[in-house]
Amino acid sequence: MKILLIEDDDALQHTIKEALARSEIRVECASTYRAALSKINDYDYDCVLLDIMLPDGDGLSVLASLKRHKKAESVIIISAKDSIEDKVRGLELGADDYLAKPFHLAELIARVKSVVRRKQVGGHTSIDLGNLSLHPNERRVVVNDADLKLNRKEYDLLYYLVSNPNRLINKTALAESVWGDHIDQADSLDFIYSQMKNLRKKLKDAQAQAELKAVYGFGYKLIYNEIAEDSKL
């Protein structure tokens, strides 16, 4: 899960980022309206935490830009402004939730997980592809009723791929989803190869019906081949 936190208060930004990191949620930050627009134009996120009072612009204009460009991010508004008008305007623009400051960090984390789960897995507690089940809240993967042991990076890569089945994903998008937005400045993305090689072997050894395919020169695709109950002679 990768979050964009748009918050101009440095102390609060640091506190929220640390709390989310402890829940193994990757966080990128923007402190201004201009930086926020640059981030959402260049990268994709699972959720945006949006302060509507920014020093150089209106945070709700960031939300409007997200929706205008048909971006898929869930949006939670976090603001000291708690008027009914602000809530209504934010929700009408397409925000998924609204949390007034001050708030408990545990509640914020719960709401982040909730809106992302609703969007990615239809409100269910797991993502299921045949005999493979991924449980985001537990960071657990099960194949044929047995736990599949993955390291953190392998799990994060699989989560991204399982959330986008049968979709060709380029290496840069995969790297950004797991290692962060600044990975696009790396000289090479060859380090992904070893992680994907190990993940593919583990899926194959566990006889998962979800198969990881490499597309030379571009990226990877997780293919779910549903096995028919009756085979034809």
88 within domain boundaries:
yes
230 within domain boundaries:
no
pLDDT digits (tens, 9 = 90+) for 98-153: 998 889 999 999 889 888 877 765 555 678 888 999 988 788 999 999 999 999 88
Do both 107 and 217 map to the same domain?
A: no
Q: Which residue has the higher pLDDT, 121 or 176?
A: 176
- Which of these, 99, 108, 81, lies nearest to 16 by C-alpha position? 108
Residue ending a domain, among 121, 136, 166, is 121
User: The domain containing residue 202 runs over which residues?
Assistant: 127-224
Report the alpha-carbon distance of residue 184 to residue 139 in Å, rounded: 26
20 within domain boundaries:
yes
CATH of the domain at 171: 1.10.10.10
Per-residue model confidence (pLDDT) at position 132 = 93
Report the alpha-carbon distance of residue 212 to residue 197 in Å, rounded: 9
CATH of the domain at 113: 3.40.50.2300
How do beta strands 140-143 and 146-147 pair?
antiparallel
Predicted confidence (pLDDT) at residue 227 exceeds the cutoff of 50: no
Range in 114-118, 177-181, 205-209, 216-220 with the lowest mean pLDDT: 177-181
Do both 162 and 135 map to the same domain?
A: yes
Do both 112 and 12 map to the same domain?
A: yes
C-alpha angle 70/46/43, rounded to 5°? 65
Do both 84 and 147 map to the same domain?
A: no
Do both 7 and 93 map to the same domain?
A: yes
Q: Which residue has the higher pLDDT, 149 or 188?
A: 149
Per-residue model confidence (pLDDT) at position 135 = 86
Mean pLDDT of the chain: 85
Burial of 87 (0-12, 13-18, 19+ CB in 10 A): middle
113 within domain boundaries:
yes
- Specify the number of domains making up the chain: 2
Per-residue model confidence (pLDDT) at position 216 = 82
231 within domain boundaries:
no
pLDDT digits (tens, 9 = 90+) for 37-47: 999 988 888 89
Per-residue model confidence (pLDDT) at position 206 = 94
Do both 117 and 133 map to the same domain?
A: no
Report the alpha-carbon distance of residue 48 to residue 72 in Å, rounded: 10
Do both 168 and 106 map to the same domain?
A: no
Per-residue model confidence (pLDDT) at position 229 = 35
Q: Which two tokens stand for residue 94?
A: 């397409």
Per-residue model confidence (pLDDT) at position 230 = 37
Range in 4-18, 111-125, 162-176, 177-191 with the lowest mean pLDDT: 177-191
Predicted confidence (pLDDT) at residue 30 exceeds the cutoff of 90: yes
pTM of the entire structure?
A: 0.64
